Amino acid sequence: MTIEEIRQTLGAKYIVGEEWGHREVHSACGSDMMSDVLAFMKDQSVLLTGLCNLQVIRTCEMMDIICVVLVRGKQPDEAMIQMAKEKGITILSTGHRMFSACGMLYEKGLRGGPDYK
């Protein structure tokens, strides 16, 4: 699934990174706890979160996450936008709640990777 397909599925809008809409995303994670993201995410993923701070972008950079979807209509501040631009990370914003947004992407075939055991 591409970032643009994610945007369309969620009725989201680009905050930054529209030029990277063609990038392929292989898995997804919905979390507001960056420690969980660090433990379970893998390359070329999308992160769905309600957090709007620089730690989100730093975590994405460390884990090679290429797209962040801010849920519940959250909007990043200018510092978060600037850091995302510098790191090549797309930010989308959707009005959907996290549970709904994750379900919509799951219905379209995007998975979260292997289950934790």
DSSP 34-79: HHHHHHH--SSEEEEES--SHHHHHHHHHHTEEEEEE-TT----HH
Question: Per-domain residue ranges for the chain?
Answer: 3-107
Counting Cα atoms < 13 Å in the Cβ hemisphere of 2 gives: 10
pLDDT tens, position by position, 70-98: 999 999 999 999 999 999 999 999 999 99
Class of domain 3-107 as given by CATH: alpha beta
Mean pLDDT, to the nearest integer, of 11-35?
94
pLDDT 10s digits, 36-49:
888 776 677 999 99
Mean pLDDT estimate for the chain: 92
